[in-house]
Structure 1
Amino acid sequence: MLRLSALALALLPLMAQADNPETLTERSNTRAREVLDATVAAMGGAEAIRGVKGVRLTLEGETWPRMQMPTPEAPFEAGRSKEVLLLDLAGNRLNLETSNSGAGFEAHNRTVLKNGEGTNYDYRARVATPIPVAQSSQQQLVQYQRRLPNLILRQALDRQNSLRYLGEDTYAGAPHDVITFVMPDTQQVAVYVDSKTKLISKYELAFTDPLAGEEASEVLFGDYVDNGNVKVPRRWEFRQAGEAVSRFDAKVEINPAITDASFEVAAEGFTKAQPVPNELPQRVEKLGEGVYVFHNGAGQNQNTLAVAFKDYVLAVEAPGSSGGAENVMRQIKETIPGKPIRYVVMTHHHGDHIGGLRGFIAEGATVVTTKGNRNVVETMAKAPQNDRLGKSPRAPEFLFVEKGRRVITDGEQTVELIDVGPHPHAREMLVAYLPKHRVLFQGDLFFIPNNDAPVGPPQEGTLAFARFLKDKKLKVDKIAAVHGRTVTIEEFTQATENATKSASR
C-alpha cells in the first residue's frame, strides 16, 4: 500500500489552495454579502428585518401606463390609482384592494389569497371569481414582496447563495453599489444601494420594450423615515424604459394587527363565477367565407383576424410579441395557403396590440393605420430586438386611413376600416367592418371575460362604441375581439342598452 509521508500530508492543504484560487463568482458573492450587510444595518438590522411578519402598504397617486395612454406621444393625461396591500408573511396570506381610472376604464377589485387558494372580487361587476391553487401559487405572493425595500432585504437574507455584485453605478447623481439575487418566483432583481446612506434607492428588472428593445423596469424608493425599528420609504415610483409609469405617496404600517377576519370579504350580492381557465387553447374560428379569427395564437387572450382576398391576405392586429406573430402567421398560411400577407392593420397604438407588429413587417406586410401612429411604428421597427426584423432590418411601409375611413376590396371581399375616434381609450382607433359577412372586429371596445362572467356596468369606452354603432347604422351580427371570444350583437346590446338609455335621459 502506498503511504504518504508526513511532509506530503502537510503540503496537501497548500497544494489544494494553489490549485483552487478564489473564483470571480466567489469574489462577487462575498462583495455582495458585504453590501447586503451594510444596507440591512442601515435599514434597522437583520433582527428587525426578519421581525417584519406583516405589512399594510397604501400607495396612492397618478399613473401613466407605458404604451397604454390615449395618445401615442406626450403630453399624457394621467390616470389615478390606489392600492391597499395587507401582507401576512407569517401566514402566507394577502388582501389586496385596487382602484384605478384612466383611458376610458375604471376598475375596483379585491384579491384575497390564503390557504393556497384565493378569490378576486370585482366590485363594478359584483362578481367573485375563484383563483385555484394552480394560479394562487407562492409566485403570486412573492411579487408583492418587492413592494418595499424591507421585504426585498428579507428575501435577500434568505437567498444569499444567489447574491452577486454587479458593480458601481451612478444614480440620481450619487454613487451606488449594485447587487443582484434571484427571488423565489425566478425574477432576478438588481438592487441599487446608496454608497453613502446605505439605503436602497431602487431595484430593477429586465424586460423587452416594444419601442426600445431590452430595457429595465425600475421601482424607486425615497423619503425614508423611521417606523419602529426599521426605515420605510414615503415615496414610491415605477418607471419603464426611463419613463414614469406611476408616482405614489406611500404609507407603511409594519406588523399591523392581523386576524383571520382581515382576510374575509362580505360577498353578499356577488355572483360567483367559474375560475378563469389556466390556459386558453389556440383555435381558429371561421366567421364567413375567407374570414377567420385566430384565438390565442399570439399569446394568451391575444387574437388576430385574417381575411382572404383573391390574391392576398389582410390581417387585423398583431398583438403579443414577435414570436407570437410568427406563430400566428404560420397558422394563417396553413389556413389560407398560397397567398401572401399583404396588409396588417393595427386598431390602436397600445403595446399589447402592436407587440407582434415587427414580425409582420419582417414578413413584408404593409402597416395600415392612421397618420398619428406613424412615429410609434417607425420607432418600434428600429428597436434593437433579437427577432427576424432585427436580423434583417427593413423600414415599414404604410397605408393610411384618412378622413376616418378606408375601404380595401377586390370586388368580392371587402373590409372597411373605420376610425371610431376621438375615443377615450385611444384618440385614433380603428375597427374592421366586413359588410358582406355582417362582422365587426375591434380591440378593447368590448369583451366578454374568458370565464363568461357577467361584465357589469359598461365602461366609458364601450358606451362610446355603442353610440358609434348606432350613429353609423352598421349592420352587424357578430363582434369579434382582440381579447376574448366573439359575441353576438344581441349579447352586446344586452350589456349596453340599459346604460345607454340612462345616459340619453
Structure 2
Amino acid sequence: MRRRILALGLPVPAIAALLAACASAPPDPQAALKRAEAAMGSAQVRSLQFSGSGSGGIFGQAYRPGDPWPRITYSSFSRVYDYQNAAFREEFARTRAEPNGGGALPLMGTGEQRATGLLRGTQAWNLAGTTATAAPLTADGRIHDLWTSPHGVLRAAQRNNATTRVEGGKTLVSFTEPNRFRATAVIGESGLVERVDSVQPNPVTGDTPTVTTYEDYRDFGGVKFPARIRQTQGGSPVLDLQVTQVQANTVPAIEVPAAVPGFVERATSEKVAEGVWFLAGGSHNSVLVEMADHLILIESPLYDARTQAVLTAAKQLVPNKPVRYVINSHHHFDHSGGLRTAAADGATLVTSELARPWFAQAFATPNAIAPDALARSGRPVRIEGVSGKRTFTDGTRTLEVMMIDGSVHAQGFMLAWLPRERLLVEADAYTPGPAGAPPPAQPNANNVNMLDNVERLRLDVDRILPLHGRVVPIAELRAAAGRR
C-alpha cells in the first residue's frame, strides 16, 4: 500500500493522513455481523430455547419511589426465541426474596407465582392453563427481549442498517428497531456478543435504559450461548440467570390465539351512587366522581390505550365537565402507567408527596422512540402532592384522600374516601376473590393492614370500590382479614 501511494507522488503529510484514515475506518457492519454469526454458530439457528434459574427484581414495583426493584428468586426460568417467526415464549416460577414491594407475587413465604407470556409479531398475550388473555402492554418488552438476545441482536442489526465503530478492541454495532427500541451490541474480539445496551419506551419512565450482559459462553451442540445472563432496567437488576440447558431448532410453532388480535381496551361503567361511577372492563379499575363544575378520576392505570378508554367513558357519562384531577393511588407502574395520558388530556395529577418529585423527574424524560399521548400533546405536566390528607369539595360532595400506613406493599400508598356515600376506593391493599368464594384460611397481611387503616381512620364504610376486582361490601374485607 505504501509503495503504491508513494508512486502517486503525494506529499508526505497527505500520505500520513491517508494511512491514518485507512487505519481508523470503521469495520463494515455486515461483515462484522457475519463474523459474529460464524463465531456463535448463528447462521443455521432458526430458534433457541434455554432454561435455568437465578434471581432478579420486579420492574416498576419498588417499595418506595426511587428504590431498587424488589428482589425475587427464580426457581425456574425458560425462554423460547423463534427468530424465523418473530415469536417468543417465557415461563417462570418465582418467589419474593424480600418482604416489601409490589407485584402480583404472593407475600414472602406464602407461595410462588407461575406465569407464561407469549409473543408473535406484534401480538402479545399471557396464558393461564389453556386460557389466553391479550397483553398489549407487554409487547414492547417481549419484542425487545427477542431481538436483543445473543443471536437475535445480530439479525436485528442486519435488517436495521446498523452502524459500527471500534472501541478498546471491541466492535460496537448500533441500530434502531423502529418504534420499539434502540440498541448497541458489544462484540468482543472472539466474535461473541458480550453486552447489549438498549433503550426502550415505558409509560411511566419514558425512554428507559436496559443493560444486558452475556457471560461464560459455552458450546451447546455447535451453538455458542452464555451460561450467565444479567440484566438491569432503569438502573436496577431485573435478571441474573444461570443457564443450564440450551436447544436449537426444536421449538414448536407459537400461534396467536383467535381472540388476541381483536382485543380493544374498553371501559364499562357501573353507577354506584349519584355522581359516582365504577369504571371496569379490564384488569385495572378506575372510579369517576362528579363535582359541581368538574370531574375527578381516581386512577389512570397501565398505558395510553387503557386510560384513553377510561377518559372516553368519563366524557360520555358527563360530557359537559372536564376531568380536572386524576388521583394516583401509588407509584407502582401498573397503577401509574396512564398518568402521562391524563396529563396530555389536561388533568392535574395528584399523588403522594413522597412520589411527587420522583414522578416529576420521570415525566421529564419523553417517550421519543415511540411518542405517547403526552409527547404528542406538548402539554406540561402538573403534579400535586398529598402529605397526610387532602380534601376535595364543591360544598355538597366531599372526597378525601388519605395515606395507608404500615403496608408492606408500598410507601406513599393512598386511599380515597367518599364519606357521604360511605364508599372506600383502594388498590392492591385488598382485592376481592370471586363471588361466593370462601375467605382464605390464612388472612393476607395486606388485607389485615387495610382493615387496620379503616379502623384507625374511623371510616364508616358501606362498600369498597377496589381498583382490581368487583365492588364488595365491607363485610367481605372483614371476612378476608379473619374478623367476621
TM-score, normalised relative to structure 2? 0.71
User: How far apart are the structure 2 equivalents of 1:361 and 1:395?
Assistant: 6
1:261 aligns to what? none
| Offset, 1:427 | 0.9
Say which of 460, 471, 474 aligns to 2:459.
Answer: 474
> CA 1:489–1:169 in 2, change beyond 3 Å: closer, same or farther?
farther
Say which of 305, 311, 318 aligns to 1:329.
Answer: 311
- Contact 1:361/1:389, CA 8 A, preserved across alignment: no
The 5-angstrom pairing of residues 141-152 of structure 1 reads 146=146, 149=149, 152=152
| 3-state SS, counterpart of residue 237 of structure 1 | strand
User: How far apart are the structure 1 equivalents of 2:467 and 2:133?
Assistant: 28
Letter in 2 for 1:379: Q
1:24 aligns to what? none
| Offset, 1:388 | 4.7
The 5-angstrom pairing of residues 48-63 of structure 1 reads 49=45, 55=50, 57-63=51-57
| Offset, 1:86 | 5.2
| Offset, 1:152 | 3.4
| Offset, 1:396 | 1.3
User: How far apart are the structure 1 equivalents of 2:363 and 2:117?
Assistant: 41
| Offset, 1:309 | 1.6
| 3-state SS, counterpart of residue 481 of structure 2 | helix
> CA 1:151–1:445 in 2, change beyond 3 Å: closer, same or farther?
farther
Say which of 241, 247, 251 aligns to 2:243.
Answer: 251
Q: Does 1:491 align with 2:483?
A: no
Unaligned runs of 5+ in 1: 1-29, 122-128, 259-276
Q: Does 1:394 align with 2:418?
A: no
- Contact 1:422/1:429, CA 8 A, preserved across alignment: no
User: How far apart are the structure 1 equivalents of 2:201 and 2:402?
Assistant: 31
1:187-220 CA-to-partner distances (Å, cap 9, x unmatched) read 7885714152311234467632245533454433
2:63 aligns to what? 70
Letter in 1 for 2:343: I
Say which of 150, 161, 164 aligns to 2:160.
Answer: 164
> CA 1:110–1:104 in 2, change beyond 3 Å: closer, same or farther?
closer
- Contact 2:54/2:74, CA 8 A, preserved across alignment: yes
User: How far apart are the structure 1 equivalents of 2:472 and 2:145?
Assistant: 39
Q: Report sequence identity in percent.
A: 22
- Contact 1:59/1:83, CA 8 A, preserved across alignment: yes
1:40 aligns to what? 37
2:358 aligns to what? 376
Q: Does 1:309 align with 2:291?
A: yes
Letter in 2 for 1:82: Y
> CA 1:59–1:307 in 2, change beyond 3 Å: closer, same or farther?
same
Letter in 1 for 2:297: A
**Bigger mean CA offset, 356-365 vs 369-378:** 356-365
The 5-angstrom pairing of residues 98-497 of structure 1 reads 98-101=93-96, 102-103=100-101, 106-107=105-106, 108-110=112-114, 129-132=129-132, 146=146, 149=149, 152=152, 156=155, 163-168=159-164, 174-178=170-174, 192-203=185-196, 207-210=200-203, 212-227=205-220, 229-241=222-234, 243-255=235-247, 281-296=266-281, 300-322=282-304, 324-385=306-367, 386=371, 387-388=373-374, 391-398=377-384, 400-402=385-387, 404-448=388-432, 459-497=444-482
Letter in 2 for 1:176: L
**Bigger mean CA offset, 364-373 vs 79-88:** 79-88
1:12 aligns to what? none
| Offset, 1:414 | 1.5
> CA 1:110–1:352 in 2, change beyond 3 Å: closer, same or farther?
closer
User: How far apart are the structure 2 equivalents of 1:278 and 1:322?
Assistant: 15
User: How far apart are the structure 2 equivalents of 1:87 and 1:81?
Assistant: 16
User: How far apart are the structure 1 equivalents of 2:117 and 2:365?
Assistant: 39
> CA 1:32–1:285 in 2, change beyond 3 Å: closer, same or farther?
farther
Letter in 2 for 1:496: A
Provide the aligned length of Structure 1 versus Structure 2. 421
1:431-488 CA-to-partner distances (Å, cap 9, x unmatched) read 0011222211112222247899889665443332232224334222322122333233
Unaligned runs of 5+ in 2: 1-26, 107-111, 119-124, 251-261
| 3-state SS, counterpart of residue 223 of structure 1 | strand
| 3-state SS, counterpart of residue 253 of structure 1 | strand
| 3-state SS, counterpart of residue 207 of structure 2 | strand
Higher fraction of helix? 1
1:329-365 CA-to-partner distances (Å, cap 9, x unmatched) read 3322221232233322111112222222234334443
| 3-state SS, counterpart of residue 376 of structure 1 | helix
| Offset, 1:291 | 0.6
User: How far apart are the structure 1 equivalents of 2:192 and 2:312?
Assistant: 50
Letter in 2 for 1:308: E
| Offset, 1:302 | 3.1
> CA 1:72–1:33 in 2, change beyond 3 Å: closer, same or farther?
same
1:131-165 CA-to-partner distances (Å, cap 9, x unmatched) read 25989xxx99x879849946638x94xx99x7334
| Offset, 1:429 | 0.7
User: How far apart are the structure 2 equivalents of 1:40 and 1:453?
Assistant: 55
1:266-317 CA-to-partner distances (Å, cap 9, x unmatched) read xxxxxxxxxxx97774211111011112224xxx423221111222222211
| 3-state SS, counterpart of residue 219 of structure 1 | strand
| Offset, 1:425 | 1.5
User: How far apart are the structure 2 equivalents of 1:468 and 1:314?
Assistant: 23
| Offset, 1:424 | 1.5
User: How far apart are the structure 1 equivalents of 2:273 and 2:366?
Assistant: 39
Letter in 1 for 2:313: Q
- Contact 1:359/1:388, CA 8 A, preserved across alignment: yes
RMSD over aligned Cα, in angstroms? Answer: 4.5
| 3-state SS, counterpart of residue 421 of structure 1 | coil
